[in-house]
Amino acid sequence: MAVGPTGASQGIATFIFGGPASPSGAVCTCGFSKSAGSLVQADADTLKAIFGQLHTQIACNESKMTGVELKIGPVQSGATFQSFGDYVGISSTNAVPPNTTFLIRKQVADISARFSGRMFWPGFAEGLVAAGGALLGSTVTAVNSEFNIAMNALDTAGLQPVVYSSLAGGQAMLTVDSFACQTLVATQRHRLRR
């Protein structure tokens, strides 16, 4: 079974980050499906605008989302669209270390969180973290609110977040119902080894 986009209405967006908060750069990915027609350059521009605005609201001013690369299916031969432009966070300075991120779960109905997917969203301020790596409750609420705004904008644009998986009941593409910020920060040790 193919895992990944299989047609021109399906794709994987790679969100690209930089700035002092991510000195070696950072990326995270999310699958998307278009409700009508094929994914095109304008969809990459739309994803950049929606998630760029989200990043602006949840990241510190030492972090920027620099663009989006949208690879459409089929994986072997589908087109790639790129959209660049900086979206700088508006919260205070003092970014957390580059390997520390928000852990955003992709919530899929009737599927274990283990198979739902996740994104490691970089660039937030150190002051948002309490003892033991716990995010402040107000931060989790604010991040979830921004992802809800993004979900509404995606719906309006006819773009549906998806998870490509061969593990969950034999389905290749699962619809993401919502995103949820976890209450603890996530660290990625391998990102330090670049």
Interval 64-121: pLDDT, tens: 999 999 999 988 899 999 999 999 999 887 888 888 899 999 998 877 666 678 999 9
**Residue written as token pair 């699962």:** 174
Q: Which two tokens stand for residue 126?
A: 């150190």
In angstroms, the CA 18 to CA 51 distance is 15
Residue 54: closest CA among 109, 122, 128: 122
Residue 31's contacts (CB-CB under 8 Å, 6 or more residues apart) are: 4, 5, 10, 11, 12, 13, 161, 162, 163, 164, 173
Please give the pLDDT value at position 194. 43
Q: Is the pLDDT of residue 34 over 80?
A: yes
Please give the pLDDT value at position 170. 58
CB 145 within 8 A of CB 58: no
CA separation (Å) from 49 to 15, 83, 126, 166, 181? 11, 9, 25, 30, 20
Strand segments, DSSP code E, in 19-127 are 26-34, 64-72, 80-88, 100-107, 118-122
Q: Where are the alpha helices (DSSP H) in 59-174?
A: 113-116, 137-157
Interval 146-167: pLDDT, tens: 999 999 999 999 999 999 877 6
Please give the pLDDT value at position 110. 73
Helix (H) / strand (E) element for 53: namely helix 41-58
**Where do the structural domains in the chain lie, given as residue ranges?**
10-193
Q: Is the pLDDT of residue 46 over 60?
A: yes
Residue 170's contacts (CB-CB under 8 Å, 6 or more residues apart) are: 1
Please give the pLDDT value at position 24. 86
Please give the pLDDT value at position 13. 97
Residue 110: closest CA among 159, 164, 174, 34: 174
Interval 128-149: pLDDT, tens: 888 888 999 999 999 999 999 9
* Residue 43, number of CB atoms within 10 A of its CB: 24
Q: Is the pLDDT of residue 40 over 50?
A: yes
Please give the pLDDT value at position 116. 72
Please give the pLDDT value at position 1. 45
Please give the pLDDT value at position 164. 87
